Structure 1
Amino acid sequence: MVKNSGEGISKSVLYLMSAGAGLVVANNYYNQPLLNLIATDFGVSESAVSNLPLLTQLGYAFGLLFIIPLGDKYPRKKMVMIDFVFIIASLLIMALAPNLLVLIISGFFVGFSCVVPQVFVPMAAQLAKPEKRGRAIGVVMSGLLIGILGSRFISGFIGEYFGWRSMYFIAAGIMLIFWVLLKLKLPELQPDFKGSYKALMQSLWGYFKSEPSVRLAAVRGGLGFAGFSAFWTTLVFLMEDNFNYGSGVAGTFGVLGIGGALAASYVGKLSDKMNKNKLITIATLVMLVAWCVFEFSGHSIIGLVIGVILVDMALQSLHISNQNIIFSKNPDARNRINTIYMVGYFIGGAIGTTTGAYAWQIFHWQGVASLGVFYTILILIFHLVFKKSLA
């Protein structure tokens, strides 16, 4: 079993974790371009079907809180293998769901079990040499973000031509294949924590109280992801109402953001060399520009394209810089530190999904874009006010 990062991480293992991060996290986002199809199939409103991505993201937050800390206590490979069984079962229930309630509940359990990427990120940080930690995080995050963005393109296309249920049958098959690959190739890591599960969970609060850099990172990440989630939850409605396009075109926008995701390894290298607080400031300003572009793009495909590329690149830069900061401390508790950060991140996503749906319902696209501006300004305020106290 591997204990530390002495010899670094091999490229094959790093890219295996990157691919795994993308394939697993994609399960949480297949639903977004499919919301109109699901609403039509079950005869429900847009606001009712928006509970599906909301509960999926909440499930992810709960999974981060209750599952990821176990990575500091139990062998991570074994933990990943067991978790995959629950992922596959939850996806199959979604595919067979007879009504919206069952779909939403099973969506929650998909989110709850699809936390494997957040095991891979601290694994990469632990296995990598310290001077290459940012790059390793960036490579895994590239896979994760490509999964998030590519999932929308794939599900939009499959939903439009084969029906939304087909997407979840295919996803279950992909997970089964990847389970086999991980079983063969994923290294094992010795856990560091020797106490009980209760003590493990109680230690989360201790780290939350004693690590202001983690709290600030969680606020920044959560607010950034709130705007991102508001955008993707409502884009399919914008495409249909303003452009008369279906889920396939809405999903295609995910491909545009992959350019930003591919920049992750570069951003990771940059965060190893550049002042991270400065990089976060720049990323937040780029995100603000993106939302200002969205304000004037309710009837402009070109404006939406530019905005998607900018917001994806900015969020990726913000996220990697946040993680590089928090993983540089408390190496024996990286899973718990990541739990605190990612719970805040996905609570932000759930808030963004909910507020985005209401903003669309009341003010349509102008309301969604203004909401994104609001969240981004909050990031800037929190960052500029509190970063000095952490320097």
Structure 2
Amino acid sequence: MPTAVTSSRRFVLASVCAAAVSTIYAIQPVLEEAGRDLGLAPRSLGGLVAAGQIGYFLGLILLVPLGDILNRRRLITAHLTLTAVGATITALAPNGPIALAGLAIAGFFAVVVQVTVAYVAAVSAPVERGRNIGAVTSGVVLGILGVRILAGVLGDTTGWRAVYALLAILCLALAFIVHTTLAPDRRTPGPRYGRALASMGRLVRSDRLFLSRGLIAFFLFASFGTLWSGLALPLAAAPWHLTTTQIGLFGLAGLAGALGAARAGRWADSGHAQAITGSALALLTASWFFVSRTESTLWLLILGIVLLDFAVQAVHVSSQHLLTTAHPDRASTVIGAYMAFYSLGSALGAVATAWAYTAWGWPAACLTGAAFSLSALILWAITQFTRRSASAAGEHLEEDASVRLPTRTHRDR
């Protein structure tokens, strides 16, 4: 039953999202140092990044549907605890294979983010659902971008292991807070686990809204991944030669943009989710012009980062609002399947930016990111045109029926 979600509970749930997703991305700013400490060859460093992403993808498929079957409050507590176990293994790892296992475990249970979003959607009143989802998912961006700053500073001072030790403690503390303070998620029993898994495939095959929003998310986060997976490359090179800590501080610009988009949830509550999507995707495409300008000043890059992260978060919140509203009884399964598109898009962006930058430099990487966002915008426009055409066809059928009806009635008389 929907209940009031207080500001303190929104803060707790946003913190859950931030802490969990941080365990996946914290390794990126300290990758080189961690590789040296663990005795890994440079060509093997990518495995440290991939381990968390692979674990996360598997968690989206295998764990998130449990949120439609089990008590979500208990599930959030358990997943946070197990995420802390993975972070602890990583922090104490004596070698590369054990660190990979710890990162994979942390990533696997970091899908507590999606269970948290489903919980918020379930306990929120309909008029506040978008606002609450927007506030809570801002924690995801806070984790992805904020941990870059934290890891950069700790990596330069106390070492990379301190990052994961701190995240483990934070996850355990949040697990206790969730267990003791959040309202229970009371609802009718959900489907069996096998049926919940099968419903993911049916969503892709038969749900037009889900498929369109999933594909938009794929291109959206491919564009997002192109920026944040490749940004360190031009900043560490001539003429800037920035340090890891200095590069991490650019996450502040991303945070400013993403947090500014928290209001997108309220706009979605007012029935403007589709308009927000189109406007934000256009803004995202335009932001790449500023992101590409790194030759003589970094201020245009900072402006581009703010605009890009604002746009990405606005579209992301709007999509989740639409999907959880359309599927209130299986929000966990729907969000998990939707985020699988996010995960694949992020991976594509990471691969694409490295390839483009190596071959042709930062301008080519920016063109790649802009192409991804433009693809999302075109896809949104096509779905809008299709939806309006179908609506118009339905209206014509109703008009034809209303015209024919008196004629038939007259003959019957």
Moved more, 98-107 or 86-95: 98-107
Runs (4+) off by over 6 Å: none
Give the structure 2 partner of residue 327 of structure 1. 324
Structure 1 gaps of 5+ residues are none
Deviations 1:152-208 (A, max 9, x none): 111111111122122111111111222221121122213544443112211222233
Report whether the alignment pairs 1:367 with 2:359. Answer: no
Give the one of 277, 281, 286 matched to 1:284.
281
TM-score by length of 1: 0.92
The C-alpha deviation readout for 1:10-65, integer Å capped at 9, x for no partner, is: 332222112221122222211222223334544633x6423433332232122111
TM norm structure 2? 0.88
**Separation in structure 1 between the aligned mates of residue 360 and residue 351 of structure 2, nearest angstrom:** 14
Letter in structure 1 aligned against 2:79: D
Amino acid at match of 2:273: K
Paired residues of 2:59 and 2:107 also in contact (CA < 8 A): yes
- Give the Cα separation in 2 of the matches to 1:166 and 1:299: 36
Q: Distance in 2 between matches of 1:301 and 1:358?
A: 23
- Counterpart pick for 1:155 among 151, 154, 157: 151
Answer yes or no: is the 8 Å Cα contact 2:123–2:185 preserved in 1. no
Are the counterparts in 1 of residues 65 and 336 from structure 2 also a CA contact under 8 Å? Answer: yes
Structure number, greater radius of gyration: 2
- Choose which of 69, 74, 86 in structure 1 pairs with 2:70: 74
Counterparts of residues 46-65 of structure 1 (less than 5 Å): 48-65=44-61
SS at match of 2:326: coil
Q: Distance in 1 between matches of 2:232 and 2:106?
A: 22
Change (3 A) 1:370 1:100: farther
Taking a change above 3 Å as real, the CA distance of residues 9 and 148 of structure 1, as seen in their structure-2 partners, is: same
**2:400 corresponding residue in structure 1:** none
Partner of residue 296, structure 1 = 293
What's 1:83 paired with? 79
User: Which deviates the most, 381-390 or 133-142?
Assistant: 381-390
Identity rate, percent: 25
- Within 5 Å, give how 1:245-256 maps onto structure 2: 245-256=242-253
Is 1:265 the counterpart of 2:273? The answer is: no
Contact residue 57 and residue 349 of structure 1 kept, 8 A: no
Say whether the 8 Å CA contact 2:16–2:171 is kept in structure 1.
no
Aligned to 2:11: 15
Task: Say which SS state the counterpart of residue 4 (structure 2) adopts.
Answer: coil
- Mapped to 2, the partners of 1:250 and 1:22 lie a distance apart of 20
Kept after mapping to 1: 8 A contact 2:203/2:211: no
Q: Secondary structure at the match of 1:188?
A: coil
Q: For 1:337, what is the secondary structure of its paired residue?
A: helix
Partner-residue secondary structure (3-state), 2:249: helix
Match of 1:132 in 2: 128
C-alpha distance after superposition, 1:39-94 (max 9, x if no partner): 4544633x642343333223212211111110110111221222123211211222
Instruction: Work out which of the residue numbers 111, 114, 134 in structure 2 matches 1:115.
Output: 111
Q: Would the alpha carbon gap of residues 321 and 194 (structure 1) be closer, same or farther in structure 2, given more than 3 Å must change?
A: closer
SS at match of 1:74: coil
The amino acid of 1:374's aligned partner reads A
- State the Cα deviation string for residues 244-292 of structure 1 (Å, max 9, x = none): 1121011111112121222233111112225322211111111111112
Unaligned runs of 5+ in 2: 389-413
Check 1:135–1:313 CA distance in 2 against 1; reply closer, same or farther (3 A cut): same
Give the Cα–Cα distance (whole angstroms) in 2 for the partners of residues 223 and 107 of structure 1: 26
CA RMSD of aligned residues (A): 2.0
State the structure with bigger RCO (CA 8 A, min sep 6), 1 or 2.
Answer: 1
Structure-1 residue corresponding to 2:348: 351
Cα distance change on mapping 1:48 and 1:388 into 2, 3 Å: farther
1:169 is aligned, of 159, 165, 169, to: 165
- Name the amino acid aligned to 2:83: I
**Pairing 1:192-207 to 2, within 5 Å after superposition:** 192-207=188-203
Question: Which AA in structure 1 matches 2:81?
Answer: V
Q: 1:110 to 1:38 in 2, by over 3 A?
A: same
Partner of 2:186, secondary structure, is coil
Shift in alpha-carbon separation, 1:239–1:103, aligned structure 2, 3 A: farther
1:33 matched to 2:3 = no
Counterparts of 1:52 and 1:373, CA distance in 2: 28
